[in-house]
Amino acid sequence: MINGICRSLALLIVMTMAAQAQTPTYKITPELEEAARKEGKVVYYTSIEVKVAEELAKAFEKKYPGIDVVVERNGAERQFSKIGQEYSSKIYNVDIVNSSDAAHFIFWKREGWLASALPDEVQKIYPAGSFDPEGYFAAMRSSLSVIAYNTNLVEAKDAPKSFADLLEPKWQGKLVKAHPGYSGTILTATFQMARDLGWSYFEKLAAQQVMQVQSSTDPPRKVVAGERPVMIDGNEYNVFLEKERGAPIEVVYPSEGTPLVIGPTGVMKSAQHPNAARLFHAWSFTLEAQQLIVDKGGLRSLRPDIKEPQGRKPLSEIKLMKDDPVSVDSQVGDIKKRYLRYFKT
Amino acid sequence: MTATPALKSFATADGRHPAGIDLSAGVLGAIVLFLSALVGLPLLWLAVFAFTNAKGMPTLANFGDLVSDPDLLDPLITTFSLAGLVAVFAAISAAPLAWLVSRTNLPGRRIVRALLTASFVTPPFLGAISWEILAAPNSGILNRLWREMSGGTEALFDIYTFSGLVFVVTCYTAPYVFVVLSNALDRIPADLEDAAGILGASRWRVVRAITLPLALPALLAGALVAFLQAMTLFGSPAILAIPAGFHTITTKIYSLFQFPPKPEVAAAAALPLLLVTMLLLFMQSRLLGRRGYAVVGGKSGEARLMALGIWRWPAFALVMMVLALPLFLPYGALLKAAFSRVPAGPLDLANLTLAHVNFVFIEFSQTRRAFANTFVLALGTASAGTILALLIAYRVARQGGRTGRLLEALVSAPLAIPGIVLGVGLFLAYTRGPLVLYGTLWILFFAFLTIELPVAYQQMRASFRGLHPELEEASRILGATRLGTLRRITAPLLKSGVIAGWCLIFIGVVRELSAAVILSSQNTKVLSVVIFDLNESGDLGAIAIIGVTMLLLTFAIIGFANWIAGVGADPRRAVG
């Protein structure tokens, strides 16, 4: 099942198989710690939610005193343009980067901006396909783009069960959706849905008077506020966090499959703090760090030994759509154009 | 403008002036150089981008994309309609307010002035977020109340529409008009009005025939600023336009920076805005240039307040109702969100929490640094910008000429460029030689200075237009140098205008988002960016806490600045 989950980067494996002489791996050793401590800090660019990013930094600083984690949190797309701007101006600020848009890593690897850094634990424990075999990036987190509804406004028996259900006339004017032009998560989800359901699905969906918002964090908020009773897509982790805070929202895993969005991490080749970056990289895949992003962040971990909190359906029981960042990378312009044609924004 | 020829020729014979050494030529030369670099550098880089393709070869294809692609043409049309409507509505709503506050015995004028400043301090995108809480068609507090009262299912007001966007942008742009206008009204002396009154004109006739025409340059200047602000605004459209199903040129430009980025098309898309601005500024100077508007001269009397009579309190009520829109309602909504566990939840004890306060001030590592960065930048930019704008406005108003027109064009150009695009230009300019400033507060300082200078300049110029040169000429005749005259005669007379200019920049910096989003890095985050980030992750409670704290702090500083100004001897202020 785990294998099924992580076919995500399978295409990549095929592509790079030829080049794959056993990539060297590394462990957290006292020497690495010492070298990292000498550097004193690590600059961490991430699109993970700011509270979770701060928790992660705090946990690391507690475990490795003397090494500061400088968190630079931006939305995935903004982060992408920021790094692009910085690199085109020869500013090598970022040491290690994490993004919810896996296609970015295809681009960065192609540009030669990433370093090969494969933690031993990742290669041994994580499912094949969840990391780049050459070690340039690995799926530190993942999240789903889900359907959800407001439990005060919709009864469980009336709630949609599938993407097809959302086309029913009764949902006209009642749906909210995030935008692939602004959110990497939604770009990935849109690609997967268009591939599995066809673009005709979006054409019909656009006729449902959908409220369009930007970020994938927005739809859960609109549902909780009661602005629209049902969301077509948006972050599962926001739904979890809202629900656990007591908000009236319930998640639905559509019967056609749920889009899976992988959020890899990679170490930059021109990092100013290469050892601290490698230390942080390896640590972020440990059970301790992974359990933290699951518990506090509502994210999904690809570690087989992770404990899913109560009330959340385990990843292994959910039917998932297949992730394919290589295709997203090559089709991004086309996806945005078609989307604009149907939704007018 | 109305100086006698003899005085004029004497006053402009600078270098040959007998007494004292005149430093003005050197100082002004330095300013021209500095301005050229400040504004020229980012513009140059934008031009390079607009006229080259991704490989760096020269091309015009980017403009071809612009005209042929309806995806870009429609937003452009939307943007111009938005800006036009906002300018008109801002002028219509701000003019009576400014008149009531500056020229009548309206009760609580000081408080009204302060409250208007508060609405001005509110970043437009924070206002948009608050109005979402209030007037989203289904969940909005006002619409829910309306449904309960009327029993119907229809929304009273849908904020996710073009008119909703016009409304919100007007709310937070009208204060620009108010500040510029009320400041001009403060300085219109009563003798002209008295003369009209003696000649038998009714009270309203005096307002129409004397006060309004004299205030016209300021009203036009204010409306122009409102137009340009609305045109280049990013935050509010980003929040309201997408759900409404349309793009403005700024949201479109923002999407052009997303993966895969097309900065060259974005740069090209900014060009029509630049042209329109240049055209408007040109028209303004043609329109106003032909008439004399000087009201403060050597022989003028004081401003006097008109008694409203029985209309005093009704007028006060009206002002308060207008102020509810940008201020009372949105901040009420924000305060509720600040202390609610679930923002949309009911207002009861179970939903009450201090968790957001705790998060913002204790847990969240960026808060303190962002507050410090924001206010250091605001103070620095406001002080440097005021001096610069004052010197330029003085040079343009008193000497004009080709250098004057060049200065005016240079200082006004940034108005036309959306902050987002300017941010990119500034990024390109200051990440390579000779000045590498990225990652420091200096890049934000120069960015804010570039962005806010035009508004401060407009304010100063309106002040200078209202000030007759005869007082300065008298000083020059008596042997003072130009800078000495500027310091001892002009500056004190312009004090309220200068303070207003300082506050304009200060507030502008606090609420600036679009360039800051691109230029700030982890150590140099400012509050607007932190709020924008928090909005991305949906932390309404934290946004509300930061927003309210930001308002209070800004307010305290603005109040302090005005208090300092009030301590000095300004007879016309003492009246108000």
For chain A, the structural domain boundaries read: 2-142+260-312, 146-257+327-343
Best of B259, B352, B431 to disrupt the A interface (most A CBs within 10 Å) is: B259
Q: What is the pLDDT of residue A279?
A: 97
Using a pLDDT cut of 70, give the percent of chain A over it.
Answer: 94
Measured between beta carbons, which residues in chain A are less than 8 angstroms from residue B246?
344-345
Region B74-101: mean pLDDT is 92
Region B149-164: mean pLDDT is 87
Q: Do A50 and B246 touch (CB under 8 A)?
A: no
Helix ranges restricted to H, B105-211 = 109-121, 124-135, 141-150, 162-186, 190-198, 203-206
Using a pLDDT cut of 70, give the percent of chain B over it.
Answer: 87
Are residues B139 and A152 in contact, defined by beta-carbon separation less than 8 angstroms?
A: no
Q: Token pair for residue B283?
A: 């028209």
How much of chain A is helix, strand and coil, in % rounded to 5? Answer: 45, 15, 35
- Give the range of the structural domain holding residue B468, as residue numbers without chain letter: 24-55+73-292+300-569
Q: Chain B, 517-546: which have a CB under 8 Å from a chain A CB?
A: 517-518, 521-523, 533-534, 536-540
- Chain A residue closest to B517 (CA)? A78
What is the per-residue DSSP string for B341-384?
Answer: SSTTS-SSGGGB--HHHHIIIII-THHHHHHHHHHHHHHHHHHH
Q: Is B154 on the interface with A (CB under 8 A)?
A: no
Q: How confident is the model at residue A178 (pLDDT cuts 50, 70, 90)?
A: very high
Q: What is the pLDDT of residue A34?
A: 95
Q: What is the pLDDT of residue A89?
A: 75
Query: Would residue B103 count as lying in a domain?
Result: yes
Q: What is the CA radius of gyration of chain A?
A: 20
Please indicate whether the domains covering A2-142+260-312 and A146-257+327-343 agree at the CATH topology level: yes
Choose the closest CB to B538 out of A74, A228, A238: A238
CATH number for position B233: 1.10.3720.10
Region B183-191: mean pLDDT is 75
In whole angstroms, what is the distance from residue B185 CA to residue B462 CA? 11
Measured between beta carbons, which residues in chain A are less than 8 angstroms from residue B514?
none
Closest approach of A322 to chain B, Cα-based (Å): 21
Using alpha carbons, list the distances in angstroms from residue B392 to A231, B28, B31, B449, B506.
54, 8, 8, 14, 19
**Is the predicted ipTM greater than 0.90, yes or no?**
no
What's the mean per-residue pLDDT of chain A?
A: 89
Closest approach of A118 to chain B, Cα-based (Å): 27
Q: Do B534 and A220 touch (CB under 8 A)?
A: no
The CA-based diameter of chain B, rounded to the nearest angstrom, is 82
Closest approach of A341 to chain B, Cα-based (Å): 9
Using alpha carbons, list the distances in angstroms from residue B518 to A106, A249, B424, B425, B468.
24, 34, 7, 10, 43
Q: What is the pLDDT of residue B16?
A: 42
Closest approach of A249 to chain B, Cα-based (Å): 12
Choose the closest CB to A246 out of B238, B246, B341: B341
Measured between beta carbons, which residues in chain B are less than 8 angstroms from residue A85?
424, 427, 431, 518
Q: Token pair for residue B542?
A: 């934290």
- Residue A158 CB neighbour total at 10 angstroms: 11
Number of domains in chain B: 1
What is the per-residue DSSP string for B29-40?
Answer: HHHHHHHHHHHH
Q: What is the pLDDT of residue B329?
A: 92
Q: For residue A137, is pLDDT > 80?
A: yes
Q: What is the pLDDT of residue B413?
A: 79
Q: Do B533 and A54 touch (CB under 8 A)?
A: no
Q: What is the pLDDT of residue B433?
A: 64
Are residues A179 and A212 in contact, defined by beta-carbon separation less than 8 angstroms?
A: yes
- Chain B residue closest to A344 (CA)? B245
Region A250-258: mean pLDDT is 96
What's the mean per-residue pLDDT of chain B?
A: 79
Q: Do B438 and A89 touch (CB under 8 A)?
A: yes
Comparing A117-126, B67-76, B89-98, B341-350, which segment has the lowest mean pLDDT?
Answer: B341-350
Phi, psi of A102 (to 5 degrees): -65, -25
Q: What is the pLDDT of residue B65?
A: 74
Q: Which residue has the higher pLDDT, B193 or A273?
A: A273
Using alpha carbons, list the distances in angstroms from residue B417 to A111, B63, B443.
31, 16, 17
Across A303-307, B29-33, B417-421, the highest mean pLDDT is recorded for A303-307
Q: How confident is the model at residue B303 (pLDDT cuts 50, 70, 90)?
A: low
Using alpha carbons, list the distances in angstroms from residue B163 to A41, B36, B168, B170, B418.
49, 39, 9, 10, 21
Comparing B343-357, B366-380, B433-447, which segment has the lowest mean pLDDT?
Answer: B343-357
- Residue B313 CB neighbour total at 10 angstroms: 11
SS (H, E, C) B329-343: HHHHHHHHHHCECCC
Closest approach of A29 to chain B, Cα-based (Å): 29
Q: How confident is the model at residue B11 (pLDDT cuts 50, 70, 90)?
A: very low
Q: Which tens digit of pLDDT belongs to each residue from B239-267?
A: 888 888 888 988 888 777 765 667 778 77
Q: What is the pLDDT of residue B210?
A: 78
Q: Which residue has the higher pLDDT, B574 or B219?
A: B219
CATH number of A146-257+327-343: 3.40.190.10
Comparing B293-302, B355-364, B368-377, B448-457, which segment has the lowest mean pLDDT?
Answer: B293-302
Residue B357 contacts by C-beta under 8 Å, 6 or more apart in sequence?
B338, B339, B545
Choose the closest CB to B242 out of A78, A84, A179: A179
Q: Do A89 and B431 touch (CB under 8 A)?
A: yes
Across A248-257, B364-373, B454-463, B550-559, the highest mean pLDDT is recorded for A248-257
Q: How confident is the model at residue B295 (pLDDT cuts 50, 70, 90)?
A: low
Query: Would residue B227 count as lying in a domain?
Result: yes
Q: Which tens digit of pLDDT belongs to each residue from B189-248?
A: 777 777 877 888 787 787 788 777 878 888 888 898 899 889 888 888 988 888 888 889
Q: Which tens digit of pLDDT belongs to each residue from A89-122?
A: 788 989 999 998 888 999 999 999 999 999 999 9
SS3 category, A272: coil
**How long, in residues, is chain B?**
576
Measured between beta carbons, which residues in chain B are less than 8 angstroms from residue A228?
138
Closest approach of A296 to chain B, Cα-based (Å): 14
Q: What is the pLDDT of residue B164?
A: 94
Query: Would residue B287 count as lying in a domain?
Result: yes
In 3D space, the residue among A162, A191, A200, A204 whose CA is nearest the CA of residue A103 turns out to be: A191
SS3 category, B296: strand
- The CATH class, in words, for A2-142+260-312 is alpha beta
A261 sits in which H/E element:
strand A260-268
Q: What is the CA radius of gyration of chain B?
A: 24
Q: What is the pLDDT of residue A10?
A: 53
Q: What is the pLDDT of residue B15?
A: 40
Choose the closest CB to A226 out of B139, B243, B432: B139
Are residues A51 and B537 in contact, defined by beta-carbon separation less than 8 angstroms?
A: yes
Region B53-78: mean pLDDT is 78
Q: Do B259 and A49 touch (CB under 8 A)?
A: no
Q: What is the dihedral of CA B153, B157, B160, B161, to 10 degrees?
A: 110
In whole angstroms, what is the distance from residue B109 CA to residue B98 CA? 10
Q: How confident is the model at residue A161 (pLDDT cuts 50, 70, 90)?
A: very high
- Work out how many CB contacts closer than 8 A connect A with B: 117
Q: What is the pLDDT of residue B87?
A: 96
Q: What is the pLDDT of residue B289?
A: 57
Per DSSP, A60 falls in state H
Q: Do B259 and A226 touch (CB under 8 A)?
A: no
* A237 assigned ligand-binding residue: yes
In whole angstroms, what is the distance from residue B41 CA to residue A74 CA? 27
Phi, psi of A262 (to 5 degrees): -90, 140
In whole angstroms, what is the distance from residue B537 CA to residue B540 CA? 9
Q: Do A227 and B138 touch (CB under 8 A)?
A: yes
Using a pLDDT cut of 90, give the percent of chain B over it.
Answer: 13
Conformation bin of residue B135: beta by default, left when phi > 0, alpha when psi is -120 to 50 = alpha
Region A49-53: mean pLDDT is 84
Cα B517-B520-B525 angle, rounded to 5 deg: 95
Q: For residue B504, is pLDDT > 50?
A: yes
Region B350-361: mean pLDDT is 81
Are residues A113 and A269 in contact, defined by beta-carbon separation less than 8 angstroms?
A: yes
